[in-house]
Structures are given as C-alpha cells and as structure tokens.
C-alpha cells in the first residue's frame, strides 16, 4: 500500500520529529480550527518517547556500576536543557505550520513552514543520538551487546498507520472532483511513485546498514555515518510525499480542500 505519511522503522530512535512532520503533511489540503491544531501539537509532543526509550534501554543493562550510573545521570542532566530548548523551537515551528494550513495559503508558504519543522526536528534528533553515543562510550563490550539488543527492540511502527493516497483523494471523499481533476491526480500519483519507491528502497537499505553496524566494537563514527544516512534518506522521502500532496492540493478548489481535510480528520480519528 502506498504510504501518505512518513512512517519508517527507527533502529536507534523513535524519530518522533519526522513523524510529526508527516502528521502535519496530512493536513496540507485543508483547514483545522486553532483549538484542534493546538491539541494535536500538544498530543504529538506528549507522545515523545525518545527520553523514555533511552531510559528503557539503560534499564536493560543490568551490570551497570555505581560509577557508570552516575556518569549516565550526568550525561542526561548536561544534555537535557539543549534538548528541551530544541523541543520548544519544534513546537513553535509546528504551530507555524499548523497556522499556515488554510485552503487559501500559497503552497510556497506551507512548504517553507514544513522545511522549518524538518530542520529543527533533525537537529533535535541529532541531540538524542549524540546522547546515546555518549552513553555507549562508557559501556563495556558486554554491556554494549545488551544496549544494542534494546535499541533493536524499539523497531515497532506498523502498517496500520499507512493509507492509500488514491483512496484518500477518490470521488468518495471528494464528490465534486471533475473528470479532468481525477485524471490530473492519477497522473501526479503515477509520475511521482517511481521516485518514492526508489527512495523507500534506499531507506530500507540504509536501515539495514545501520542495523549491521550495531555491534559492540563498531566505532562511534561508523554509527554516526550510518545514522546520518538513514535520517537524510528519510527526509528526502518525506519531501517527496509532501511535494506530491502540495501538487495535488494545487488542483483542488477551496471547497474540495475542505472536503479532503474532513476525510483526513476522519482517518485520524480511527
């Protein structure tokens, strides 16, 4: 099934940041009330499982010495203020993106707001990853094996979140689509899908490479490179999905954008 959202496995982190961008990409077609938008942002940020996941990983390492435990606590204390600041910046960027999601907003404005979310989200993701590497550096080889197994267990996203864009933009959800619009949408999907499929394959390969790099003796620099490839490829794929949504949006009337938004909200409620 063709995916509309950015949904992909994360062998290191939950990548909430990019998921947030994908959730907001779903709404580029129409408008939401400010109250709904704010609630959605707060809900998504509240689902930030990265700190929780890090603690879960650490809890699986049953041979930590008191000195290691103190070092880990210090790493958390030192890194958290910058992460909190980046989270606040991400919230502001998400609010700006939500505010731009009206039927009459130019696509270029929405695209700029989306880019800002992605940039800040990537920066925050890097802070989490750097913290994991710093914790990894104080572990023994045996402890790193436990650490890696716990990281792999975070690979949990499912297919239930995926949605077929052809169904979403069908005449069932947008009854007023003209035959010309239907042909244009079909052409957009057909033209864009090969590049999306190619990028999906590249992302799967990057995730496999990252998985292979997760062994106790792998240098941190190698992990950093593999992680960077995953993030870069995921962002590129996210942009392809987002560009396709904007291209479809451009051929819809204001009324049709609102109809599509209702369909999106209905899916989100299920």
Please write the tens of the pLDDT for every residue from 205-251. 998 898 888 888 999 999 889 988 988 998 898 889 888 888 998 99
| Confidence (pLDDT) at 201 | 93
| Confidence (pLDDT) at 196 | 92
Quick check: 116 pLDDT over 60? yes
Instruction: Look at residues 142, 90, 136 and name the one whose alpha carbon lies nearest to residue 113.
Output: 90
Quick check: 180 pLDDT over 90? yes
The structural domains of the chain, with segments of one domain joined by +, span 16-269
Going 15 to 20 to 23 to 29, the CA torsion angle's sign is negative
Q: Which residues of 162-175 are buried (b: 16+ CB within 10 A; e: fewer)?
A: ebebeebbeeebbe
Quick check: 27 pLDDT over 50? no
Burial of 258 (0-12, 13-18, 19+ CB in 10 A): middle
| Confidence (pLDDT) at 162 | 43
Q: Between 41 and 105, whose confidence is greater?
A: 105
Q: Which two tokens stand for residue 197?
A: 């499929």
Task: Indicate the pTM of the whole model.
Answer: 0.76
């Amino acid at each position: 099934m063709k995916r509309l959202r950015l949904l992909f496995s994360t062998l290191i982190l939950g990548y909430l940041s990019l998921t947030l961008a994908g959730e907001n990409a779903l709404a580029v077609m129409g408008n939401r009330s400010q109250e709904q938008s704010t609630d959605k942002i707060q809900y998504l940020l509240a689902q930030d499982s990265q700190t929780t996941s890090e603690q879960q990983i650490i809890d699986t390492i049953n041979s930590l010495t008191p000195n290691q435990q103190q070092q880990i606590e210090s790493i958390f204390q030192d890194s958290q203020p910058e992460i909190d600041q980046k989270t606040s910046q991400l919230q502001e960027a998400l609010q700006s993106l939500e505010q731009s999601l009206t039927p009459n907003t130019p696509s270029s404005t929405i695209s700029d707001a989306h880019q800002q979310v992605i940039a800040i989200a990537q920066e925050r993701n890097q802070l989490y990853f750097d913290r994991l590497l710093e914790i990894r550096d104080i572990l023994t080889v045996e402890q790193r094996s436990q650490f890696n197994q716990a990281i792999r267990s975070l690979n949990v996203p499912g297919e239930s979140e995926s949605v077929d864009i052809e169904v979403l933009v069908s005449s069932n959800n947008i009854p007023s689509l003209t035959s010309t619009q239907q042909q244009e949408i079909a052409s957009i999907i057909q033209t864009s899908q090969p590049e999306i499929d190619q990028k999906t394959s590249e992302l799967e390969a990057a995730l496999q490479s990252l998985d292979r790099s997760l062994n106790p003796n792998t240098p941190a620099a190698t992990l950093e490179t593999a992680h960077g490839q995953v993030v870069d490829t995921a962002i590129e794929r996210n942009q392809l999905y987002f560009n396709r949504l904007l291209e479809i949006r451009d051929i819809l009337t204001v009324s049709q954008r609102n109809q599509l938004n209702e369909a999106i909200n209905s899916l989100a409620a299920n």
